[in-house]
């Protein structure tokens, strides 16, 4: 890992030149050594069509670099100038009501428009020529928070491109009708030209919704890759695009041809459930350090402040947690509050008048500690023998066919599974990810297993000694949100040695289970009841309705085993199934990360604003305080310990 970058989004286009110089001094005061610039500034880069001016931006980048502050250069394609959007109407997206986007905020562009792609290419090439060899530019961000907002663009160009996408995937309209079951309700299409995008207000077909969203995502991937190809002609610095927290737009697809995973999040003070899960996922997308490109420094806001206030110390912990989990950048939005506009009330490191907030001191404190711990952080990393699947396909399937009322796939993975491992290193992976090196893989609610070669790879991995804990509601759908007809699963019953006698798709707690040791425990969500066909029962339903039928089965396959879950067990039961030791004993309000490499140790972060405890079996040196730590150690509210093994 290289130097830890403490960053902030900065908008020199908003400020006079003398204010830029003052802000650079403030950056030094706050420990900021990296800024993100340019993402919304197209109109100042190209005030008239074909007339470009980067002098103001170069001045800011030059002065930052002279002060020891590096820059992530952003392409401005999220906000084309008014002259472009008004001159070329096709560049503006169309919403589900068939209304063209007004030039009023951001995220206007249609991702399919050839004219939009042409104009993007021009501004990106001009920007890359200007800054591609600048020593202060250490990375690139493409666009800003790309996503199919409002289910994407419904313009004629996108509708026709969607039909081409379907034709390429399904070959014939008869294949599509059969795959989606369109004979039901006499919905059969006669040709691909009959296919219309789904719209709000309709009882929307899940397969149509999934494929429409997947098409919109494919347009985004192409949109990003075009810009990356241009930048690479002029710059060797890493390229990424800042993404939001959901994996519905596949992180693996978007980042396949990029260099660094970038992430924006505005989680509340609940660091435990949201951010730790995200960091364990981001670290694995490219198997290298990731960048947090945006997070709230105090509060969010538009024309009023919202998303709450961070208690004292929360910003400090939020600065450390991603670095503990494998980030090499944590960047706040934003450096200095805007004096006007749509986000006038948003929090920042400095207010509009250039005065620091209390949280600014917490960021500066963390920045000093990163420097103190630099050698340890650079020579250690996060490695795990446990993986948890988090699937982009499952995100889409459950978005349009959740199966359980009110079911939230991401939230369920975080709270019912990932949260059990707050004292473990866990990799959160999508289905394209390799399985090498893992001892245990958990695949709950993995709706589609038969994709990206995962079915064959995981069967071979189990036979070679792995433990696969799978279910509930895994292997139940195709990638276009259709269920299987030959069995409840595509292959899981046969592989797990079980036969599903009953299924009860409910989302509340109505059953209990009894383990082989006689212990009783509650169950939540989706109750599959199994008869054994070569497996053995690890837990059975308690009560008359499903009594005697198994809810957790285990079957040895080759050198490994597959454990099938018919429902969601409590954390303690789940950990027994995993059978791995924690990093150390600690309170439930403490997140532990084991760091390995040339340097070894533990980073502990308290995340619930109350005193925490850690019990160490070895002797460590606290690199922040310089003190020796052993035995029982107390952690203050939102405190951080960086412990190197002695």
For 464-477, how does the pLDDT look when each residue is reduced to its tens digit (9 = 90+)?
Answer: 999 999 999 999 99
Distance of CA 394 to the CA centre of its chain: 14
Cα separation of 527 and 504, whole Å?
A: 5
CA-to-CA separations, 596 to 49, 379, 541, 578, in angstroms, rounded: 53, 8, 42, 21
CB-based contacts of 401, cutoff 8 Å, min separation 6: 206, 477, 481
Tracing tokens 């206030």 back to the chain, one arrives at 309
Q: Model confidence over 247-293: pLDDT tens digits?
A: 999 999 999 999 999 999 987 656 666 899 999 999 999 999 999 99
Cα separation of 627 and 621, whole Å?
A: 6
DSSP-assigned states of every residue in 211-268 = HHHHHHHHHHHHHHHHHHHHHHTT--S-EE-EE-S-SSS-HHHHHTT-SS-EEEE---
Phi, psi of 583 (to 5 degrees): -60, -45
Contact between residue 68 and residue 39 where contact means Cβ atoms under 8 Å apart: no
CA-to-CA separations, 568 to 122, 187, 430, 506, 527, in angstroms, rounded: 52, 37, 20, 12, 9
Mean pLDDT of all residues in 453-471: 98
- Pick from 165, 179, 230: which is nearest to 207 by CA? 179
Instruction: Name 92's bridge partners.
Output: 109
- Pick from 359, 336, 402: which is nearest to 20 by CA? 336
Cα separation of 319 and 369, whole Å?
A: 11
Question: Is the preceding peptide bond at 334 cis, omega within 30 degrees of 0?
Answer: yes
Phi, psi of 42 (to 5 degrees): -60, -40
Mean pLDDT of all residues in 562-589: 97
Tracing tokens 């409590």 back to the chain, one arrives at 570
Contact between residue 11 and residue 41 where contact means Cβ atoms under 8 Å apart: yes
Q: What is the pLDDT of residue 3?
A: 87
Question: Is the preceding peptide bond at 472 cis, omega within 30 degrees of 0?
Answer: yes
CA-to-CA separations, 210 to 170, 204, 567, 615, 638, in angstroms, rounded: 14, 10, 26, 48, 41
Contact between residue 612 and residue 604 where contact means Cβ atoms under 8 Å apart: yes
Q: Are strands 560-565 and 585-586 parallel, antiparallel or unpaired?
A: unpaired
Query: Residue 331: enclosing H or E segment and its boundaries?
Result: strand 327-332
The dihedral built from the CA positions of residue 24, 28, 29 and 30, taken in this order, carries a sign that is positive
Tokens read off for 102: 């007004």
Q: What are the structural domains, with CATH classification, of the chain?
A: 5-150+221-375 (3.20.20.80), 386-578 (3.40.50.880), 585-645 (2.60.40.1180)
What is the b/e burial string over 431-464, where b = at least 16 CB atoms within 10 angstroms of the residue's CB?
bbbebeebebbbbbbbbbbbbbebbebbbebbee
Q: What is the pLDDT of residue 298?
A: 81
Cα separation of 281 and 247, whole Å?
A: 10
Which of 154-168, 299-313, 321-335, 361-375 comes out lowest in average pLDDT? 299-313
Cα separation of 583 and 420, whole Å?
A: 13
pLDDT averaged over every residue in the chain:
95
Contact between residue 273 and residue 415 where contact means Cβ atoms under 8 Å apart: yes
Q: What is the pLDDT of residue 271?
A: 66
Helix (H, G, I), strand (E, B) or coil at 186: helix
CA-to-CA separations, 31 to 27, 321, 471, in angstroms, rounded: 6, 17, 46
CB-based contacts of 2, cutoff 8 Å, min separation 6: 289, 328, 378
- Has this prediction a pTM greater than 0.85? yes
What is the b/e burial string over 315-333, where b = at least 16 CB atoms within 10 angstroms of the residue's CB?
bbbbbbbbbbbbbbbbbbb
pLDDT surpassing 90 at residue 297: no
Cα separation of 91 and 149, whole Å?
A: 16
Tokens read off for 600: 């070894």
Q: What is the pLDDT of residue 268?
A: 63
Cα separation of 71 and 622, whole Å?
A: 32
Tokens read off for 216: 């919109």
Q: What is the pLDDT of residue 81?
A: 97
Cα separation of 13 and 9, whole Å?
A: 12
∠ CA 246-443-465, rounded to 5°: 140
Burial bucket for residue 340 (CB in 10 Å: 0-12, 13-18, 19+): exposed
* Rg, the chain, Cα only: 26
pLDDT surpassing 50 at residue 1: no
């Amino acid at each position: 890992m290289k130097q830890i970058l403490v960053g902030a989004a900065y908008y020199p286009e908003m400020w006079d030149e003398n204010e830029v110089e003052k802000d650079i001094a403030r950056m030094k005061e706050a420990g900021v050594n990296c800024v993100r610039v340019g993402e919304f500034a197209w109109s100042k880069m190209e005030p008239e069509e074909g007339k470009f001016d980067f002098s103001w931006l170069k001045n800011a980048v030059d002065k930052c670099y002279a002060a020891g502050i590096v820059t992530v250069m952003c392409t401005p394609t999220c906000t084309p100038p008014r002259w472009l959007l008004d001159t070329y109407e096709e560049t503006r997206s169309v919403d589900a009501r068939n209304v063209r986007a007004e030039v009023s905020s951001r995220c206007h562009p249609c991702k399919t428009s050839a004219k939009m792609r042409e104009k993007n290419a021009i501004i990106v090439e001009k920007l890359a020529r200007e800054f591609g060899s600048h020593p202060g530019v250490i990375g690139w961000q493409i666009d800003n928070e790309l996503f199919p907002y409002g289910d994407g663009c419904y313009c004629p160009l996108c509708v026709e491109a969607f039909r081409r996408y379907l034709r390429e995937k399904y070959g014939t309209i008869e294949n599509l009708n059969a795959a989606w079951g369109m004979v039901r309700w006499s919905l059969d299409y006669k040709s691909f030209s009959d296919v219309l995008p789904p719209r709000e207000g309709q009882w929307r077909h899940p397969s149509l919704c999934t494929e429409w969203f997947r098409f919109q995502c494919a347009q985004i991937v192409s949109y990003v890759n075009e810009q990356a190809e241009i930048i690479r002609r002029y710059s060797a610095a890493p390229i990424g695009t800042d993404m939001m927290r959901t994996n519905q737009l596949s992180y693996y697809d978007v980042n396949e041809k990029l260099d660094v995973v970038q992430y924006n999040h505005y989680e509340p003070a609940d660091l435990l459930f949201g951010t730790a899960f995200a960091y364990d996922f981001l670290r694995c997308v490219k198997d290298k350090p990731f960048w947090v490109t945006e997070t709230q420094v105090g509060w969010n806001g538009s024309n009023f402040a919202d998303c709450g206030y961070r208690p004292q110390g929360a910003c400090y912990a939020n600065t450390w947690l991603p670095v503990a989990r494998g980030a090499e950048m944590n960047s706040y939005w934003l450096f200095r509050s805007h004096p006007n506009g749509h986000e006038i009330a948003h929090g920042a490191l400095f207010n509009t008048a250039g005065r620091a907030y209390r949280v600014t001191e917490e960021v500066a404190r963390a920045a000093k500690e990163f420097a103190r711990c630099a050698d340890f952080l650079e020579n250690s990393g996060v490695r795990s023998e446990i993986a948890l699947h988090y699937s982009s396909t499952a995100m889409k399937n459950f978005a349009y066919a959740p199966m359980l009322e009110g079911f939230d796939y991401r939230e369920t993975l975080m709270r019912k599974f990932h949260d059990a491992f707050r004292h473990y290193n866990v990799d959160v992976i999508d289905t394209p990810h390799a399985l090498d090196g893992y001892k245990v893989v958990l695949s709950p609610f993995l709706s589609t297993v038969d994709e990206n070669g995962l079915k064959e790879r995981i069967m071979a991995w189990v036979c070679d000694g792995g433990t696969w804990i799978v279910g509930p509601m895994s292997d139940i759908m195709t990638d276009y949100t259709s269920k299987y007809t030959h069995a409840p699963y595509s292959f899981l019953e046969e592989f797990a040695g079980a036969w599903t006698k009953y299924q009860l798709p409910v989302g509340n707690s109505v059953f209990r289970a009894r383990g082989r040791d006689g212990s009783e425990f509650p169950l939540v969500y989706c109750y599959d009841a199994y008869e054994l066909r070569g497996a053995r029962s690890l837990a059975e339903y308690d009560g008359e309705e499903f009594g005697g039928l198994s809810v957790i089965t285990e079957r040895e396959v080759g050198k490994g085993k597959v454990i099938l879950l018919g429902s969601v067990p409590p954390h303690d039961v789940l950990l027994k199934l995993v059978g791995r030791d924690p990093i150390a004993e600690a309170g439930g309000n403490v997140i532990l990360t084991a760091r390995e490499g040339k340097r070894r140790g533990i980073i502990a972060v308290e995340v619930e604003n109350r005193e925490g405890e850690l019990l160490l079996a070895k002797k460590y040196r606290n690199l922040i305080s310089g003190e020796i730590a052993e035995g029982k150690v107390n952690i203050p509210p939102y405190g951080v310990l960086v412990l190197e093994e002695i």
